Structures are given as C-alpha cells and as structure tokens.
Amino acid sequence: MERPTEIGSSIVVKGDITAHEDILVSGRVEGSIAALGQSVTVNTGAELVADIKARAIVVSGKVFGSLNADERIELGPTANVEGEITAPAFQVKDGAIFQGKADTSKSARKPGLQLAS
C-alpha cells in the first residue's frame, strides 16, 4: 500500500488540487480537492475552505465547503464542518460539529446529472 501524499501543517495551498492518489491534509487549503477514486483525510488542526470530491472523506479538522464522496464520509470527534455533504454513507462521531445539509439518498450514489440535448 502506497503512502498518501501529505500537505504538511505549515503548508498553505491556494488553488485547486487534482490527485490520483490518497491525500492527507494537515495544513490549510483554499480552493478545491479532487481525488477521484481515492481518499482524502483532513487531520486535526487542518483548516480547509474548499470543496472536496473523493471516493472516501475522513475529517478530523475544520472544513468549510461541500464534501462529495462516492462511498462514505466520516466526521471524527474533533471535526468541525460547515457545508453540504453528499455520500451514500455518512457517519458523525460523538463530539463532531456539523452545520449544513447532508444527502445520503440513493440519488447521492449517482455520478452526476446528465441533461439531454
């Protein structure tokens, strides 16, 4: 198993991140993270003002933005999330703070809406 790419605690990223590997965020991200088919972990102490799209998302830090996962989203005991969450499975551990809207309906499992032309 490969080690995830880490955005260290002293790193600030302003912009969009696209990855084809797991990402571990310990610093600050302002923008978006797209780790399609992979996982994104937001460590305690990390601060994100970002939208995240991944296979799985685990949050222990602060996130302000939308989280969209193909499989699951988990908010750990130190998580503080404000925004919209879309995933087939959503777990909130005791102590986590969540303010926003969560969609775990079957439609959340669809990859996206396609309009006929």
pLDDT bin (cut points 50, 70, 90) of residue 3 is: confident
pLDDT in tens, 53-99: 999 999 999 999 999 999 999 999 999 999 999 999 999 999 999 99
Helix, coil or strand: residue 8 = coil
* Matching residue, tokens 């993270």: 33
> What is the residue range of 56's domain?
5-98
Q: For residue 4, which of 37, 41, 33 has the smallest C-alpha distance?
A: 41
Q: How far lies 62's CA from each of 25, 37, 110, in Å?
A: 11, 23, 27
Q: Structurally, how many domains does the chain consist of?
A: 1
- Indicate whether this model's pTM tops 0.85: yes
The answer to the question of residue 114 being in a domain is no
The answer to the question of residue 43 being in a domain is yes
Q: Which long-range contacts (CB under 8 A, 24 or more apart) does 66-75 make?
A: 70/37, 70/109, 70/111
- Asked if residue 51 lies in contact with residue 30, where contact means CB atoms within 8 angstroms, the answer is no
The answer to the question of residue 104 being in a domain is no
